[in-house]
Structure 1
Amino acid sequence: MLRFPWLTLLVLLPSAGAAATLLRRSVRRAHAIGVAVVLIEVLLATGAWIDLGGRGAAADPWVGFLRMDDLSAPLFLAVAMTVAAVQPTARRAKRTTGVVATILGSEALLFLMFSSTEPWTLTVLFAAGTILPWADARTWDRGARRAFSLYMGASVMLFAIGTAASGEPWAWAPLVAAILIRKGIVPFHSWVPPFFQAARPGVAILFSIPQVGTYCAARLLVPSAPREALWIVGTASLVTAVYAAALGTIQKDARRMFGFLFMSQSAVVLAGLSCDNVPGLAGGLTLWVASVLSLAGLGVVLRALEARRGALSLARFHGGYERMRILAVSFLILGFACVGVPGTIGFIAEEILVDGTVESLPLLGFLAAIAAALNGITVLRAYGSLFCGAPSGPWPEQTLRRERLAVLSLTALLLATGIWPGPLVRAEASAAALLLSERADPRR
């Protein structure tokens, strides 16, 4: 058991903050409350991981069903850092007490999800996670709204069916389908690019980047699903990783490019969960944390640029490097962390994943390397378009301090964990060993 109610506070504090901001008429005060809450959440998530202290798993002393283990501990910090980057950088023109409350409510929901292990609790939270984008969908075009509603509705329904059929030999099938839909895995991917293009950047980041589908797969599929289920998940994910990476290289809209980059990276993470050995699975889990941090940072940079330039086209050079060097360099480092360039935790994760699959699943390592190369082309192409060349418009290019701090904090964490990866890698290796030991049938 944890020595302090970290998990209770991680859920209650943003919930109380959301309620407090709704009662405030002053948007400035609501924003100040939001910033204070998300920064405290980072400290609480860090304290919880330290308190866990390599014990493997522990329950909250106040609320017993809230649990932390080596799988969820790094995710708490990654989610806290993501929300801490999203909340302070919300556009002033779009900022309302409702927006602040929505961000804090989403954070509470994510922490509740990552503290839960019971199937029905995960089912309810899996469905509740779609409320935020559905509330935002009234501003989308009809096609994006329809695609999202159909796919997410089907995903929630299939997830509930799989949970209700727990114990049946076919129960894994609807769960696999639900997770593949939620993750945007081929052939259930057509909602992802329109979603990233239509949704507000903050909504897209909070809904997609933490990869709730991956968490549900780790809790419900990896310990007990038959080999056939994991083979289906791994194969579909590898196809998606290369397919999305290839399409990302030719996108002309920055939001769609970001959507395909997310599809590719999250697919590699999900493919890593299909490994049947500790190194391969640990590599996939480590890559999960790296992708959350790097993709969140890229999303914040794109939102900052979009606030100044409007819709971002990758068909021309926008310039502006001289006036926003920190954002430009951070964009490049964050993008490199996505594709596993040395010096970042992404490199460590990719290396462990490939080494762990070279014998059992050589195709995974080969296709993951191809996807990483294509994603690297996408990142360099986007960097050149967004920051290089002569300025093509009279935009106010000076960055705000809160934007610089948000992006630099994520960049620094990726570099720090790349230089000192031990705590994260040990935690993920312990989580991988525990998940594999929980398999219901050791022959699977």
Structure 2
Amino acid sequence: MGNKTPQEEDILEIETSVFQRIKSRSNYWPFELNAEPWLISDLSGNYGALFIRAMLYYLQVDEHHVLKWRLENKYKQYEVFEYYNPGSCPRSISLCSLLTSAGGVQKVKDLFNEGYFLKSTLGDASYSTHSWDKSWQLEQIIQQTDICEGRYERFMLQKKLQIQSEFRIHTFCKDIIPSLTSLIQGNKQYRDGGEEFLNNILPNLPDAILEGTMIGWDVALTHDSQFHIIEANFTGFHPKYRKGFQTSGFFDNHRYGPIICAWVNTFFRKNYGVYADSVGQDLFARYPFYRAFIYYFSIFKDHHIDLVRKNKKSYPLNLIIYLGEDNNTPMVRLIEHFVLVDFADKYFVIVQDKYINKVYSLFNGNDRLVLWAESWLFTKEQYEAINQMGYLRKKSICCYHAARRNKSCTIL
């Protein structure tokens, strides 16, 4: 390729690559989720990762495609993202380019004093432990004989940002998956701004990277009111670090992972016609994660995707949720998750009278939740009759009466 730099070579290859086009099906194509050998093999993840891998398989996505350019490498990400969206990432410098120049070690130390830190280009990092900052290991790292061997950087210097808030935003192709943006640190009131920033970034990136690709983006807002891409977590078969199929760790979350996977399942059913409608008996019997997944998927409907999208466009979304008893753990977790991701503007939660105080203590201080005791919806005679009914019939009537009281609400 002549005298092109490695970055120029990669950009040329990306732009001339034949990309995978993911199309929506005219008819639904359900599948059963099973622990097939080819799904478990080289799976670097857990219950949620298995589901995501199966989903991409049935969508006919090549899990090796996007990572052939080694975009899991954070310095490679920086080069590519900055090429298409200048200024979108924190300023970063190759450690090798510094070490192979005159006075390289001193240059690195000077950059530390200017607010840069040393970061590995591969691996997991933790905000809570600050394990991403490798500056203290500089002397040990420069002793490694292979640090500057090969095409891909192992370490980079990155400018520290004064972060006000940070979010994990999930995308598939060029679409942000609605109501799946989670707060990593800071204040969640800037969530919409983070999504708007990313929506302006995505159209500039080539289809060869985004088409058929699921990404978990870490987007930060600084104290000077600027958004930046911290890094992107690519779903697919990672060829080096923790070799195997990887996806966003949010899908494996023990508490909310089944809800997140069920919501993503609904997203794909609505937008592409592909979804898991059942779980194989072995997985279902052995793992509570998949039993919870099926339960939550039974709650979510395709029109909920449209509702939350409209909500992002200033159409208020108010939900009526029937909790019933205080020990309805699955619904309590669902409400918790909804609050975390700002699923709706207001939640009207219907509770049996005897549990109203206990449930209030669970969500104390959240002004988005309004608790309604069942008896408040009926006359005394009506409530006595309703208490003789079975759970599902009682739930249906309670939600119907609540919706009549507040016609702006949607029943979950």
Same fold (TM over 0.5): no
Higher helix share: 1
Structure showing greater Rg: 2
Looking at secondary structure, tell me which structure has more strand per residue.
2
TM-score, L = length of structure 2: 0.29
- Report the TM-score when normalising by structure 1: 0.28
